Amino acid sequence: MPLYHNKKTQAVSPLELLITVVMLVLLFVLLQGRGAQSFQTRAKNLCRERLQTIHLGLQLYANEHEGRFPVVTNALSSEEPLSLLLPAYISTTEPFVCPGTKRRLIPEGGSLTRYGISYAYYMGRSSAEGASLLLTDAQVNTSEKAVGSQMFSEDGKGPGSNHHEFGGNGLAVDGSVVELRRKAVSAVPHHPGLKLLNPR
């Protein structure tokens, strides 16, 4: 056994360093994407619960208004007609903000039109329209949707991005909540008297 070791200092080669950095960046990107998707999955589940809470208020309203859901003449945003639900039909403002957005919760007793909400509303529907969409996450625009039309953001930016680029939820007149893709898989036509209102 030698009494001493000839220690040669071995430096990390630039190639080894580059490979290590690339691997770390790839790992970070993969984990970041899964983290965002996992967050949005949880947020979509909470969003469904909030939409169902709003549906209860809408149904109570319709029961007292000959089966018609809230309408405000010349409304420009979904906040205006949905404000008619507070406080008589829904006692809290929490359901009006989707947990997938960066919007802050509306203070209790606060005005929906002042603080803004997260949901688009098909104003002009009646309780007889069954499986027709009544409320959805905010959409990219307020036009009729043909099959393949963009409903929600492709890149998680701008209008229609409640759930980043992971689609959204839709509440039907009958109270069922469905998961919607970024592009419409079935047509959502507008009949006379129906107007899609996005939040402001």
Per-residue model confidence as pLDDT tens digits over 70-113:
999 999 999 999 999 999 999 999 999 999 888 899 999 999 99
User: Which has the higher per-residue pLDDT, 42 or 74?
Assistant: 74
Instruction: With respect to residue 27, please indicate whether it lies within any of the assigned structural domains.
Output: no
Instruction: With respect to residue 21, please indicate whether it lies within any of the assigned structural domains.
Output: no
Instruction: With respect to residue 1, please indicate whether it lies within any of the assigned structural domains.
Output: no
Instruction: With respect to residue 137, please indicate whether it lies within any of the assigned structural domains.
Output: yes
Q: What is the pLDDT of residue 38?
A: 73
Instruction: With respect to residue 26, please indicate whether it lies within any of the assigned structural domains.
Output: no
pLDDT at 169 over 60: yes
Instruction: With respect to residue 53, please indicate whether it lies within any of the assigned structural domains.
Output: yes
Q: How many C-beta atoms lie closer than 10 Å to residue 93's C-beta?
A: 19
pTM of the full structure = 0.80
In terms of residue numbers, what domain contains 111?
A: 43-197
Amino acid sitting at position 129: E
- Mean pLDDT for all residues in the chain: 90
Instruction: With respect to residue 186, please indicate whether it lies within any of the assigned structural domains.
Output: yes
> How many folded domains does the chain comprise?
1
- Please, which pLDDT band fits residue 197 given cuts at 50, 70 and 90? very high
